[in-house]
Amino acid sequence: MRKQNGGTFDPRTKLALGMMGIAAVLMTGNARYLVVEFLLLFLGMSLFKLLRPWVRSLKLMLPLVVLVFVVSLLSFSLIPALSLSLRLFNLFTLSFIFFQSMDPQELGDSLRQMGVPYEFSFILTTSLRYVPLITGRMQGIMDAQRSRGIDLRLRLRNVPHFMALFMPLLIQAFVLAEQLAMAMETRGFVAKGRTFRKFYRISILEYGIMVSSLGLLLACGVWGKG
């Protein structure tokens, strides 16, 4: 399923499985079942050797999950807080597996094959591809500002300082967008009659997996309510 292995599934199959996974997590309200779901995801990550990058991604995931837990604990009680934060954690993990297993271009190609206009699928895939670049730029800006005495640690008193992070980032994003538009234009993005070289075919096995997963999802729905 990993993109590094050449992508054994049709991207549309991956997309469908990902959507069903998200639906399953959203349908599950019981914290115990959410733990079971997480264990299944964990097993999947071990099988596809995704554990190390997943652990690295926790740095971004955990602060938000903890925030949701604290806020819901203060607003409700322990059980709903656990349930909400676990659900969010599972959603993050599932999205992580989905994006690790599928290249943005594959996603764009599959959407196009499903009838989404090329311009929209291209915008989506390009946006996804530029996320790591923007993240890198953000790190560069943080280093530059901290090096001249601007404290960007997560403290209440530092909130006004974050202008020093967001302003350069915003401006650089605009400049990059303009440069990208120029580069696309000079390689004929707007020309009519584009060739599409990649077409995918869903195998019988994949149909089988999708139908089984759908069945499991429906069973999960009944189980979750029970």
Partner 1 sequence: MIDLSQIRYRYEEELGEWVLNGVDLSVSKGEYLLLCGGSGSGKTTLGYLLNGLIPHFFEGTLEGTVTVQGWDTKDLTVSDMITRVGLVFQNAEAQLFNSTVENEIAFGLESLGLSAKEVAEAIDRTASILHIQHLLSRPPAALSGGEKRLVAIASVLGLNPPVLVLDEPLAHLDWEGARKVREVLVDLHRRGTTVIVIEQRVDTIFRDVTRCAVMGSGKIVFDGAPGDALSALLDQRLIPQYPLDPRRKNGEKPVLLRARSLFREIEGKAVLNDVSLQVNEGEIVAIVGKNGAGKTTLVKHFNGLLHSPQGEVSFVGKGIRGIPPPEMAALVGVSFQNPNDQFFKNTVKDELMVGLQIAGGDSGEWIEELCSLFHLHELLEKSPYRLSEGQKKRVAVASILAMRPKLLVLDEPTVGQDGRFLEILAGLLFSLRERGITIIMVTHDMEFAQATAERWIVVHEGRVVGDGSPGQLVKDESLIELGALGLGDA
- Residue 42 or 130: the one with the smaller Cβ distance to partner 1 is 130
Q: Taking a C-beta distance cutoff of 8 angstroms, is the pair 216, 25 a contact?
A: no
Cβ proximity to partner 1, 15 vs 34, nearer residue: 15
Please report how close the Cβ of residue 15 comes to partner 1 at its closest, in angstroms: 16
Residue number, 119 or 215, with CB nearest to partner 1: 119
Q: Residues with Cβ < 8 Å from 130, sequence gap 6 or more?
A: 176, 180
Residues lying near partner 1 in the complex (CB under 8 A) are found at: 103-106, 125-126, 129-130, 132-133, 137, 140-141, 143-153, 161, 163-164, 166-168, 171-172, 176, 179-197
Q: In the complex, what is the shortest distance from the CB of residue 176 to partner 1, in angstroms, rounded to a whole number?
A: 6
State the nearest-atom distance from the C-beta of 24 to partner 1, in Å: 29
Write down the residue that tokens 């020309």 correspond to.
191
DSSP assignment letter at 48? T
Residue type, 84: L
The angle at the Cα of 106, spanning 100 to 112, to the nearest 5 degrees, equals 140
For partner 1, give the closer residue by CB, 157 or 226. 157
| Minimum CB distance to partner 1, residue 190 (Å) | 6
Contact (Cβ atoms closer than 8 angstroms) between residue 145 and residue 152:
yes
Among candidates 102, 84, 123, which has minimal Cα distance to 16? 102
